[in-house]
Amino acid sequence: QKEVEQNSGPLSVPEGAIASLNCTYSDRGSQSFFWYRQYSGKSPELIMFIYSNGDKEDGRFTAQLNKASQYVSLLIRDSQPSDSATYLCAVNIGNSGGYQKVTFGTGTKLQVIP
Amino acid sequence: EAQVTQNPRYLITVTGKKLTVTCSQNMNHEYMSWYRQDPGLGLRQIYYSMNVEVTDKGDVPEGYKVSRKEKRNFPLILESPSPNQTSLYFCASSLSGGGTEAFFGQGTRLTVV
């Protein structure tokens, strides 16, 4: 079982719709969760991070975390063609010693259709 | 401008010829990390460093070395490159630790023939 799993897609949504991206992780010790966006040929850029169960909103983006079920999701409201990219889920396993190993999922490709 | 700078951007080399990919950040970040990105495998962490002289292995450290002698620099060294190290490499830095990498370098596309 992969440590961080994402559906590779592509996920196609019409412009203006809500895009829902999902990620599951295997390590119950995971403490921090991140979503990155990567345009083709470019570097990943951090969109959001979430540490606690529940929802965290930032503009059109909402991250949702459910530690009991070991999943984290990203909702993009009012999707725009410029949101078309690959979205990477990343999980940071930390401990009292400050260990900071990061594992990425393979990414979900999102296509927003005008 | 806050940035992470990698060099070179593109490199073609031959098997066994030692190479170094440099990474420098100007944000006084403590945490730096190297990743490789391959189709279907995503981003995989090679090594990370939590501070000067403090480094640790990520998921795929075999065949790589790193050093952190200064806070701003975190070079990646391939002592004897092999074709399976052909990949896209990213350096990243963060103020507060792994996973909060707000800054990635531009990437280095390495081909080993």
pLDDT at B100: 66
Q: Measure the CA–CA gap between B76 and B86, rounded to whole angstroms.
A: 14
Facing residue for B42 by CB, picked from A34, A99, A107: A107
pLDDT at A15: 98
Question: Which 3-state string (H, E, C) describes chain A?
Answer: CCCEECCCCCEEEECCCCEEEEEEECCCCCCEEEEEEECCCCCCEEEEEECCCEEEEECCEEEEEECCCCEEEEEECCCCHHHCEEEEEEEEECCCCCCCEEEECCCEEEEEEC
Report yes or no: B101 and B4 within 8 Å, Cβ to Cβ.
no
* pLDDT 10s digits, B85-97: 999 999 999 886 6
* pLDDT 10s digits, B39-62: 888 899 899 998 899 899 988 999
pLDDT at A98: 56
Judge: A101–B42 Cβ closer than 8 Å, yes or no. no
Number of Cβ within 10 Å of residue B72's Cβ equals 17
Which residues, numbered 60 to 89 in chain B, qualify as contacts with chain A under a Cβ-Cβ cut-off of 8 Å? Answer: none
Contacts of A78 (CB under 8 A, 6+ apart): A16, A18, A60
Q: What is the mean pLDDT of residues B12-35?
A: 95
pLDDT at A111: 97
Query: Maximum Cα–Cα distance for chain A, whole Å?
Result: 48
Give which of A84, A88, A85 is closest to A74, Cα–Cα.
Answer: A88
Closest chain A C-alpha to B87 CA, distance in angstroms:
13
Return the sign of the alpha-carbon dihedral for residues A3, B29, B21, B89.
positive
Q: How many CB pairs under 8 A join A and B?
A: 67
Determine contact: B43 vs chain A, CB below 8 A: yes
pLDDT at B10: 97
pLDDT at B40: 85
Residue B38 has pLDDT above 70, yes or no: yes
Long-range Cβ pairs for the range A96-99 (8 Å, 24+): A98/B50, A98/B97, A99/B56
- Name the phi and psi angles at B84, rounded to 5: -75, 0
pLDDT at A95: 56
Closest chain B C-alpha to A93 CA, distance in angstroms:
9
Determine contact: B31 vs chain A, CB below 8 A: yes
B22, containing H or E segment: strand B19-25
Q: What is the residue-averaged pLDDT of chain B?
A: 92
pLDDT at B6: 97
Closest chain B C-alpha to A107 CA, distance in angstroms:
7
pLDDT at B97: 67
Residue A40 has pLDDT above 60, yes or no: yes
* pLDDT 10s digits, A67-92: 999 999 999 999 999 999 999 999 88
* Residue A108: closest C-alpha in chain B: B42
Interface test with A, best of B91, B100, B106 (most A CBs within 10 A): B100
Q: Which of A15-24, A43-52, B18-27 has the lowest mean pLDDT?
A: A43-52
Identity of residue A54: G
Q: What is the mean pLDDT of residues B76-102?
A: 87
Residue B14 has pLDDT above 70, yes or no: yes
pLDDT at A105: 93
Q: Which of A16-25, A32-41, B9-18 has the lowest mean pLDDT?
A: A32-41
pLDDT at B94: 86
Closest chain B C-alpha to A17 CA, distance in angstroms:
27
pLDDT at B68: 96
pLDDT at B101: 65
Determine contact: B50 vs chain A, CB below 8 A: yes
